[in-house]
Chain A
Amino acid sequence: MASTIIDIEKEVERWREFVNTVNGPEPSTNHTPRKSIWKKNKATLWHYAAVKKKYDIPVFIVYSLFNKPTILDFAPGASVMEGLVNMGYDVYLLDWGIAGDEDKDINIEDYIAEYIKKAVQRALRHSGAEEVSVIGYCLGGTFAAMYAAIAEEPIRNLIVATVPIDFSVAALPDQWEEGLKEGVFNLDRIIDVIGVIPPSYVEGMFRSATSPIYNSPYVTLLTRATDKRFVEKWRRMNTWTKGHVPLTGGAFRQLTIDLFKENKLVKGEFTIHGQKVDLANIKANLLVVSSKNDNLIPEGQSKPLMDLVSSKDKTYLLVDAGHVSLAMTGKLNGILEKWLGSHSK
């Protein structure tokens, strides 16, 4: 039968492409033109200038601590940054950089009071604007919400996507969740010894929570290795997925003990350098976006924010997407174009 005869040329091409893709260099990232306007320790505040400025209120983006924010500028035509600058916004992105051993004591409080707050001040000074819209993605959304609750700077809009707020809803298997909450693990000792959690550990944590065996991307690559567009997309995605960054011990300690174990943020017991973080202080216009197929941050972790804030204008959206595909497929851009456009005038 002619259809089942192996096409040698195609097979050689397939395997060559597969091997080259897996072992090849990392693809280029950060396509949207940007300029560094401030650096603090490892963090950088990037400015993405609007192509044709339409809105006076700039956008300030905070990303998670676990990965690089390159997912927000994934590829030309599939980039949150590109979308925003094309819409006419001046965009500022706070990139946390890669933490070193000397940063092991930096905790969530420091990240908010010493980094986000100062970066927003710098962005306001740089743009000359009187107000700012803050966008937080994943754990960056948690930080953005915490900052908005204590901010003295004028925040017009707060947008959080796939954000963990209520940590009583966990994505972990129930026995592990109970074990962690009951203190079966001596987290303090582990954190003290390790100092900065290496990327391999961070990846291991996520893998064990979602899928311990993770071969399907390679299988899919081999199956579709002759599809150039797919291979290019796969390379970018794989680079980002593997690009976990080290997590400081201080941040990990607060994340596991204060947030995950004691759920202090929802209870209103979390403090930043002695200042109580009361989410009811948030009066900015609020947009919360959750993804239906997000197996890392379930909807139940994000939705409670709606009832905790004092904002008069608040919107909740449940989108048919995954944790990462929300940003990657342009769905977030579509939402921002509509919602942010009407709230930035």
Chain B
Amino acid sequence: MIFNTVDWSGRREDSSKMLSHFLRAWADSRKQFNVLREYGAGETPEAPKRRGGSPARPRKAKRLEHKSTTKYNKAFQKNFNLKSRAGGKTLADQHTFDPYKTWQTYMHQWEKQTNEMIQSWTNNREAVKIASISSDIQARFLELLQKNQQEAANLLNLPTKKDITNAAKLTIQTEEKLDALEELIWNLQDSIEASKNENSSIAKIASEMLKQMKQLKTEQKKESETVREIYSELQEIKRDLAVMNSLKEEIVSLKLLMSESTQKHERELVLTK
């Protein structure tokens, strides 16, 4: 046995419950016709007798009769309520049997069950091994095919998919280089923008410095004028000092002359005496 027998043959024939599921779904769908019927209802008490069975007990028959009308009454009431809410829809509209809906329900259930069944069938080591072997065979086959195709194309001097791929790769490389260049240009733009900003700030500083220099220059001019004035004053003082010095010398010489004349006078006085 290829597939895992424990999962599959270890169970009952309907182990995936597909059949019972379908039967249940079918029975459910039949209920749509049974608005006025319930199990055992709609028959006269004689009917079972005709089929060979014993008639239902009178009490049960009464109860069934009651039940058969209850459902109709409920359905009627529900329809009446819905009609008053939705406006205008009749009982027939509300409960129209749509075979597509039933078919859809069946198909969905069938699909679900079948998928589960496939997964339970294939979820074993044997299935994995088979898939592995078949993929290896496929790979080997494709390898051979590609090799032969390549060789045939070479002989016929025809370009192959590989050649086209290589050409496309070159285009991609060029595109990548262009992208890299664009990014470099961006970086350059950024750095130019940054140096522009730097330059403008430097120019700003320089103009401020120039301003300050001019200010200093005017201040210096003023200062030099003051210095010049001081210098001329000093020169005057120097000159005055020189005059004073010559006066001092004159005074000294006068002093000397005076002392000499005094001495001469005193001598003359002594001689006269």
Contact = CB atoms under 8 A, between A and B. Distances in A.
Interface of A: 2-4, 40-41, 100-102, 104, 118, 125, 173-176, 178-179, 184-186, 189-190, 193-194, 211-216, 219-220, 222-223
Interface of B: 92, 95-98, 100-101, 103-104, 107-108, 111, 114-115, 118-119, 122-125, 127-129, 131-132, 135-136, 138-139, 142-143, 146, 161, 164-166, 168-169, 172, 175-176, 179, 186
A184 B175 CA distance: 40
Contacts of B92: 2-3
B108 A173 contact: no
Contacts of A101: 161, 164-165, 168
B127 A193 contact: no
A102 B104 CA distance: 45
Nearest to A179: B128
Contacts of A4: 96-97
B128 A189 contact: no
Contacts of B165: 100-102, 104
A175 B128 contact: yes
B138 to A, nearest CB: 8
Nearest to A41: B172
18 contacts: A3-B97, A102-B172, A125-B186, A173-B123, A175-B125, A179-B129, A190-B139, A193-B139, A193-B143, A212-B115, A213-B114, A213-B118, A216-B107, A216-B108, A216-B111, A223-B98, A223-B101, A223-B104
**What is the predominant secondary structure among interface residues of chain A facing chain B?**
helix
A173 B128 CA distance: 11
B100 A222 contact: yes
Given A179-B125, A223-B101, 10 more contacts: A3-B92, A4-B97, A102-B169, A173-B122, A173-B123, A175-B127, A178-B128, A179-B129, A185-B131, A219-B103
Given A2-B92, A3-B92, A189-B139, A176 B128 contact: yes
A100 B128 contact: no
A214 to B, nearest CB: 7
B142 A194 contact: yes
A186 B131 CA distance: 11
Closest 3 CB pairs of A and B: A179-B128, A102-B168, A173-B123
Nearest to A211: B115
B168 A100 contact: yes
Contacts of A193: 139, 142-143, 146
Contacts of B108: 216, 219
Contact of B128 (A2, A125, A184, A190): A184
A186 B135 contact: yes
